[in-house]
Structure 1
């Protein structure tokens, strides 16, 4: 009798173990078949990354060129690149002033932004409230916060207010889901872009002081981040108060009050002779974070100019002594046709790592081609395990 009972107990135990094993197998299949595909972004990227070889292993250039000899990566390792950021510029916070800022307007930001520890690179993007699809394209491509192995990236969109109630509701839902929107409490318009710039300076100075490098751009711009880090960061990592941008020289002031480029003549001195100060075009600007408190301090004393790039990277920047400026005219372009041709041609290297992407779907196309043409350096720092997925 006891033998029968023990046998039954053993059978039941084996059945339970078998059930648990089958359940785990089914859940694994379910996860791989349903959960992962929901977050999968570009199968083409996954194909491109299959040829990834760790540092030191040979790489065949394949269809990227006519070379048949294996390529050996001899550049800086991922740990070497991390030193560029760890030992990068340090922001010395501008103390809170007792007097009220003449131009700063209130803004709201989610608590998660810049609250996850180190921030090696902060990307801030000017975006109109109705451009939710553009923000999604950017999140899912070049500005993904998990695109690198160890480089910590934070991304924020500066968005103003609108009278469209449906758009307001959409932005609020997006803020709750994404945790990457700074909502500025003023009307979103071209004439208020400089107010966004001041809000960003205040945000970094008071809430993101750990940032090392800052990239400013717009929501219709694509940036090849791997090329940007490879080509630009080494040039500025040991040079404080550095800025990289396409510079504009000797531009005459626009005196037509009906023009969106209008700037009051009384803001210029007699010695300016009707010319604007040299400034950076605002579609893409990379600068070291130690400039933030200096620019913010200058904004207390500088009358507001409605053209934001002229204001922030012209009038404010000229008040900061000893700035190291690198002109990126050969690396940044607003010629979208040129950019698409360059990224799609697999026989030529990428020369412009900042490109206009104003048409819907262009961000994804440029991103896929950038991954397909990524350099050996890019493969060294990219997070090739998680890269094809959305975050």
Structure 2
């Protein structure tokens, strides 16, 4: 609205003279440099418009514009440019249509632009490395072939990866036992709230310090983004990347997490990665930290999928892999993790992130993050984790059992309210450990 207020407005035949034949439509189109669509719905003259963009690719029907607009004005700007502005009715269908089309077009252009930027950046980096070698050493390696074949790299290795960055989550904590990185979907507000209020409420614990951060992409709806920004302002634990939050973009999300830790939480001794539908028995985790995880190097604990044992799906299904990827292979050639819960030593986080700069993108995040990247940096050990349960019903029966102690470290918590249920059951089952690691106020 600022540019509109600063313009010298020439009032020329308001309303619909343009469409009554007094001004030839074809002549008007020739002078049309930019068309702005103003949403009057809840928008006052002092607010920034919902959409302010060029509609040069939009197919506009002049009759629809005449029918659905309240007012039409010509605006002559100080630089000599002339604009036609339509103030649309609240019920205008064309606004919804254009808004969806513009958003999809913009997202597509942004994604393509960012991918080209990252591809060029990594190609230049690789070419520098090749050119620095002696002539006898200049052989085309796998990275060079991947670049020549047009493979891209994760968007989150680019210059501007963060849309929201809670960079102070770990600041001021000199000795941080572990950072929990939660991969969360944009609309899962209740899950994030439940996690904060239960097992990830770091204010409850003693002996070991922990922090939590939620990694998100960008939502489809502007209203969802507004809620996320409010959530971030209140909790200061959201990290959001500049990519659309979708299943095929989980690798971007994972690399963003690696980058954020290496830049803003270097002091964390152990990195715990979970999905937002996972309940973590944090008291058992702290016990494991003291007995098993501490003082280890170059290690990943997880549900391990050994090299050559996981079949590549080629025909159909959620994990269908194109024939051009892992060409002529029937099984994945690296050891990797089922990534819903992993524990990683801090010494390989930055290395894994740097490896993403030269490891061509693969959309199956478990294989890429916990297989291809560790394989690239070498000498990483995958160790199995026990006592994991993805059956929600069996897990709640285990935690609520009075006959025997439940030894589960993690459990699936997909249903509404189940996270709280697990938490209170764990407090009873692990009361001794809970009192050992929690502040006294938890049991008052």
Q: TM-score, normalised by structure 1?
A: 0.69
Which of 218, 242, 249 does residue 185 from structure 1 map onto?
242
Q: Please, which runs of 5 or more residues in structure 1 have no aligned partner?
A: 1-96
**Which position in structure 1 is the counterpart of 2:275?**
218
Give the Cα separation in 1 of the matches to 2:303 and 2:194: 24
2:422 to 357, 361, 366: 366
Distance 2:354 2:321 in 1: 22
Matched position secondary structure for 2:430: coil
Matched, 1:382 2:438: yes
Unaligned runs of 5+ in 2: 1-121, 127-151
Mapped pair 1:230 → 2:287: yes
Q: Say whether the 8 Å CA contact 1:239–1:324 is kept in structure 2.
A: no
* 2:387 matched residue in structure 1: 331
Match of 2:155 in 1: 104
1:64 is matched with none
* Residue 216 to residue 347, structure 1, CA distance change in 2 (3 Å): same
State the SS of the aligned residue for 2:279. Answer: strand
RMSD over aligned Cα atoms? 2.4
Deviations 1:293-322 (A, max 9, x none): 221122122111111111101111222333
In 1: Cα distance, 2:202 partner to 2:434 partner = 15
Q: What are the within-5 Å matches in structure 2 for residues 210-359 of structure 1?
A: 210-249=267-306, 250-256=309-315, 259-268=317-326, 273-328=330-385, 330-359=386-415
Using the TM superposition, name which of 296-305 and 337-346 deviates more: 296-305
Distance 2:222 2:182 in 1: 23
Question: CA contact under 8 A between 2:313 and 2:321: conserved in structure 1?
Answer: yes
Find 1:158's aligned residue among 215, 218, 230.
215
Alpha-carbon contact 1:254-1:262 (below 8 Å) kept: yes
Alpha-carbon distance, 1:232 to partner: 4.9
Deviation of 1:206 (Å):
1.4
SS in 2 for 1:290: helix
Q: For 1:308 and 1:233, locate their aligned partners in 2 and report how far apart those are by CA, in whole Å.
A: 29
8 Å Cα contact 2:167/2:264 also seen in 1: no
Aligned residues: 290
Deviations 1:271-294 (A, max 9, x none): x55435221111111111112022
Asked if structure 1 preserves the Cα contact closer than 8 Å seen for 2:168 and 2:264, the reply is no
CA contact (8 A) 2:261 2:349 kept: yes
Contact 2:312 2:330 in 1 (8 A): no
Matches within 5 A, 1:93-132: 99=125, 102-105=153-156, 106-107=161-162, 108-118=164-174, 119-132=176-189
In structure 1, distance between residues paired with 2:206 and 2:289: 19
**What is residue 96 of structure 2 aligned with on the other side?**
none
Distance 1:308 1:275 in 2: 13
Q: Deviations over 1:206-253 (max 9, x none)?
A: 111111111101111100011112135422312201211111241111
Does structure 2 conserve the Cα–Cα contact (< 8 Å) formed by 1:253 and 1:265? no
Distance 1:248 1:325 in 2: 9
Counterpart CA distance in 2 for 1:274 and 1:353 is: 29
Spell out the pairing of 1:64-83 with structure 2 (5 A cutoff).
Answer: none
> Residue in 1 aligned with 2:136?
none
Cα deviation for residue 204 of structure 1 reads 1.1
- Is the Cα–Cα contact under 8 Å of residues 230 and 378 in structure 1 kept in the other structure? no
DSSP 3-state at the match of 2:378: coil
Change (3 A) 1:370 1:274: closer
Deviations 1:103-145 (A, max 9, x none): 2331131243121323221001111111101100000001111
Higher RCO by CA contacts (8 Å cutoff, separation 6 or greater): 1
C-alpha change, 1:134 and 1:184, in structure 2 (3 Å) is same
CA–CA distance in 1 between the matches of 2:290 and 2:369?
A: 22
